[in-house]
Amino acid sequence: MTVAYVDTSCLVAIAFRERGGAALVRRLEQYDVLVSANLLEAELRGAFAREQLPFQTGALSWISWVLPDRPLGPEIARALEAGYLRGADLWHIACALYLAEDLGSFAFVTLDDRQRDVAEALGLET
């Protein structure tokens, strides 16, 4: 089973038909399971509201949610040792590290360069 953690930047690019969005769809279709923190919903809904577009609730039906059952302090600290990230980007990395405890290997898919650099420094496949 192939799994990919998807950052909000990817879904924004797809939803708003940004450059590279079609290629990103093809890449994501290669995975059996797509996961993300439920923060993704708030970020994506915010992007739709900013653009004054209606949000389709079914747009996230293909995402499985990472729902940590404890504070992610250790994962946040580990991520910050690899490089600085702002809050939301840091949370996505921390959730991916939390998931890695159970899954081991999976891809972290993002369009954010800084986030990708930190993910790679942490040994996550990007």
Confidence of residue 104 (pLDDT cuts 50, 70, 90): low
Residue 126 within any structural domain of the chain = no
Q: What is the pLDDT of residues 9-24, one digit of tens each?
A: 999 999 999 998 999 9
Residue 34 within any structural domain of the chain = yes
Residue 22 within any structural domain of the chain = yes
Residue with tokens 């250790």: 74
pTM value? 0.92
Residue-level length of the chain: 126
For residue 89, what pLDDT is reported? Answer: 97
Number of domains in the chain: 1
Extract the tokens encoding 20: 């590279």
Residue 81 within any structural domain of the chain = yes
State how far the Cα of 77 lies from the Cα of 75, in Å rounded to an integer: 5
Domain span holding position 37: 3-121
State how far the Cα of 104 lies from the Cα of 5, in Å rounded to an integer: 12
Which one-letter amino acid corresponds to residue 45?
A: R
Q: What is the pLDDT of residues 41-76, one digit of tens each?
A: 999 999 999 999 999 878 899 899 999 999 999 999
CATH of the domain at 112: 3.40.50.1010
Residue 24 within any structural domain of the chain = yes
Strands (E), 1-126: 3-6, 33-37, 63-66, 107-109
Give CA torsion, residues 94, 95, 101, 107, to 10 deg. -100
For residue 103, what pLDDT is reported? Answer: 66
Check if the beta carbon of residue 89 is closer than 8 Å to that of residue 115. yes
